[in-house]
Amino acid sequence: MFKKVLVANRGEIAVRIIRTCRDMGIRTVALYDRSDRDSLHVRLADECVQVASRLGYLDSMRIIQIAREVGAEAIHPGYGFLSERSDFVIACEENDIAFVGPPSSVIRSTQDKTELLVRVEQEGIQVPPHSATSFGPNDLPLVFAAAESIGYPLVVKSCVGGRGHSARLVGDAGHLEAATAQVATEACLLFGDRRIYLEAAVIPARLVEVQILGDKYGSLIHLGTRDGSLQRRGVKVIAEAPAPFLSVEQEEDICADALKIGKLLNYCNAGTVEFLVDGKGRHFFTEIKARIQVEHPTTELVTNQDIVRRQLEVASGEKLPLLQKDVRIVGSALLCRINAEDPLHDYMPSPGRLRNFRMPGGPNVRVDAYGYAGCQVPVHYEPLLAKITVWGSDRQECLRRMHRALTDTAIKGVRTNIVLHKSILDSEEFSFGKLGQERLETQSFVPNLSGADLREIAVAAAVGYVLRNKSLRSVTPERLREGWRQSARSF
């Protein structure tokens, strides 16, 4: 096992990796830039090094140089940044530094998405109609031709990104050129690659993910399903494990197809196979995320497995310590992404200094966060501040526990989307699995205030009024106005 690991990331995922390393007796080195100096991952690591480069966390050669200087045997990339850059993995391999993730050959296979879709379809697994090739910045006529062949609506997707920022839903030809330019530009900024491809939109659909783990010796298992259907602008807001509203047969078929796809690629380390399930219950493979995902705590709670620990074990050359028959999925887990943004004002980002940061606790509540009172929330990165994940014996217990956890949470100094989560959990649509991305994108959000909420607002307004209008004149305390005290003063 490694003795020292460099964590090439920031925020809550860096904190999460560092904590598992400490559990395993592994020393850690944290990276930070100027805006992240007082972040929690810097305080928890055994060592820290500032990345002063203009590229910051994306400066692959400087990060490898730092790893060599501090004597780190491995680099854990977390998610985002360098986690799916095959050139970075190759550079690690050339410098005899272990990359805690899939090997470069696997990452290249997952990023050649059009070829992967063809290979998967040849294995008898359904995929959405898609373009036969990827397109560069000068291929706009070919993009239009492919779009006409596929039909609208369709999704313009980055070859190296996911279905988050680097993807756009296009309803007609009039919006195709702008969407293509936006996706290519964002993909270039985030991943250094402008290539895009087209995929038919499956509407309505649920996004079902299968967490897989593999080692270098051919062992490959799955840890069940997750549902990430509730999204805003392609970014998941709430995630659940296992994916609700699937029959036993549907879940078994999806997990079997995920393993088939993983074996097709000789998959090693942690990854997520993503499917779309349409209104008729049919599932379509869309892509593989060759890294750990934001929503992995839900899977960890229902399987009692530490996915980061498994990543480190596999990257160090060990075998997976469990077989498929050893995996037990118990209960249900629900995750809410707490973002520093204001859903009441078009989700405006809300950077600033945290004045108060009280996270929930109690049985079966897990918090992954990088903040604390006095910490600065920077303006340059994703607004993800914390993840609250709860476990319950069933979905209804999960919903009640998440209600309690959100109510226990108090964050001051920045605005958050907690009120959005409360509104979602209160909706009947979410309880019955009918609340999806379309509503969050199109609805003007107004919180549903209960009588208790209104009373609390009234009390706060009254206290604020009194404090604002409080007289600055000196007054005699009530206890000094008693009769015997007044009489004593007359002498």
User: Mind telling me the catalytic residues?
Assistant: 291
Q: For the residues of 358-374, what is the DSSP string, one character each?
A: E---STTEEEEE---TT
Provide the angle, in degrees to the nearest 10, between the axes of the packed helices 248-264 and 113-122.
120
Whether the CB-CB separation of 80 and 101 falls below 8 Å is answered with no
3-class secondary-structure state, position 225? strand
Long-range CB pairs of 281-286 (<8 Å, 24+ gap) are 281/247, 281/250, 282/126, 283/126, 283/208, 283/250, 283/253, 283/254, 283/257, 284/126, 284/127, 284/128, 284/202, 285/117, 285/120, 285/125, 285/126, 285/127, 285/257, 285/261, 286/127, 286/128, 286/163, 286/199
Using alpha carbons only, what angle is made at residue 337 by residues 332 and 339, rounded to the nearest 5 degrees?
165
d(CA 61, CA 255): 38
CA-CA distances (angstroms) from residue 250 to 83, 253, 275, 283, 293? 31, 5, 12, 8, 23
3-class secondary-structure state, position 337? strand
Provide the angle, in degrees to the nearest 10, between the axes of the packed helices 60-70 and 86-94.
30
Whether the CB-CB separation of 238 and 424 falls below 8 Å is answered with yes
Instruction: State the DSSP H helix or E strand holding residue 107, giving kind and residue range, or none if neither.
Output: helix 104-111
